[in-house]
Amino acid sequence: MLRNIRKIIESQIYHIGCKGCKGVYFILFFHLWQIDLAQPLAPQGPFDAIVHKLSDVIVEAEHDSQSQQLLANFESYVSTHPSTVLLDPLPAMTRLLDRFASYRIMSKLHNSLRDWRICSPPYLEVHRASDLPSIQQAVMAQGLSFPLICKTRVAHGSLSHEMSLIFSAGSLADIHPPCVLQSFVNHGAVLHKVFVVGDKHFCVERPSLKNFPSGPCDRKTIFFNSHQVSKPESSSDLTALDEQMPCLPPPSSQAVDALVRELRVQLGMALFGVDVIINIHTHTLTVIDINIFPGYEGVPQFFSSLLNHIESVLDKQTSTTSSLKTTTGGPPAGL
């Protein structure tokens, strides 16, 4: 049962019902049901909290009028019902769907988390197709080093998992803008996925790309799908280390704590994931991607953690409302 509800709650939108008892706020039970975005939302409510995964709608709204209308209806409801808790805010999610925006956030972590030796690899935004010499010059100017990993600008959908490894300046002709070029960091074929649920987070180890010699070489571009490389059950030649190497230390729990706290502030979100690796040479915790509402595979506590977070948020909101009533002698404006 929990497995089915967990699967539903990851992909649908629900109403969370709450009840009070003798003036003390308790979460007694949760009513969950799917909202029909094609219908007016107000008659389907009222909603105490909405957990949504509107990534597809947000991306499709760029070019699809029907998705634009669905999104507009949803935004209209949210704006006229400010007491409804939204996980997560649409502007924050929209920003995270754009790797240009999320990588700018990542690039600032080196300064804000300097004491924890946390960094992000150098990267370059390629906005549009241009002549090869211009891209090569920009790569050098930004201090990127080969090999490079190329990712799509849109960080959602099946195409967002299609990536490539570029090994030389000449092979930059293989990229398809808009995209991000990022220096590849050898990390012993181990990826650490940090799943965030409110003030809790869980770290899960996954397979990842093997080590490659540093510096340009005449190797042809490698095109791959990140799902096929880093899923729990993945088995790929790209993840098999060519040499025996000692195991890298796991990420420092204190450093991961600091990273999650900083990103929660920077993103203004409660449900997201962070991909981190350990540099085999410096053992530096390196952030390579941020994921919008990930699948939470390998996190058995996800559902209970999500409910606990919703309960906590609603409890805080109730406490704030009660405080305002006591101070002003009546309900706050808008409630």
Q: Is 334 left (phi over 0), alpha (psi -120 to 50) or beta?
A: left
Alpha carbons 84 and 18: distance in angstroms, whole number:
12
Give the closest residue to 25 by CA, choosing from 313, 303, 304, 305.
313
Strands ordered across the beta sheet of 49-51 = 14-15, 49-51, 85-87
**Beta bridge partner(s), residue 118:** 285
Is 184 annotated as contributing to ligand binding? yes
Is 42 annotated as contributing to ligand binding? no
Is 99 annotated as contributing to ligand binding? yes
Classify strands 118-119 and 285-292 as parallel, antiparallel or unpaired: parallel
Is 191 annotated as contributing to ligand binding? yes
Is 23 annotated as contributing to ligand binding? no
Is 295 annotated as contributing to ligand binding? yes
Is 192 annotated as contributing to ligand binding? yes
Is 289 annotated as contributing to ligand binding? yes
Is 51 annotated as contributing to ligand binding? no
Is 174 annotated as contributing to ligand binding? no
Is 188 annotated as contributing to ligand binding? yes
User: Does residue 88 have a cis peptide bond before it, meaning omega lies within 30 degrees of 0?
Assistant: yes
Is 81 annotated as contributing to ligand binding? no
**Percent helix, strand and coil across the chain, each to the nearest 5:** 40, 20, 40
Torsion angle of the four alpha carbons 292, 251, 309, 158, in this order, in degrees rounded to the nearest 10: 20
Classify strands 14-15 and 19-21 as parallel, antiparallel or unpaired: unpaired
Is 170 annotated as contributing to ligand binding? no
230-239 long-range contacts (CB < 8 A, ≥24 apart) are 230/191, 230/193, 230/206, 231/206, 231/297, 232/206, 232/297, 232/298, 234/206, 234/207, 235/207, 236/207, 238/209, 238/210, 239/189, 239/207, 239/208, 239/209, 239/210
Is 202 annotated as contributing to ligand binding? no
Is 108 annotated as contributing to ligand binding? no
Q: Please enumerate, by residue number, every residue annotated as part of a binding site for ATP.
A: 99, 151, 182-193, 208
Q: Please enumerate, by residue number, every residue annotated as part of a binding site.
A: 53, 99, 151, 161, 182-193, 208, 275, 289, 291, 295
Q: Please enumerate, by residue number, every residue annotated as part of a binding site for Mg(2+).
A: 275, 289, 291
Q: Please enumerate, by residue number, every residue annotated as part of a binding site for 1D-myo-inositol 1,3,4-trisphosphate.
A: 53, 161, 193, 291, 295
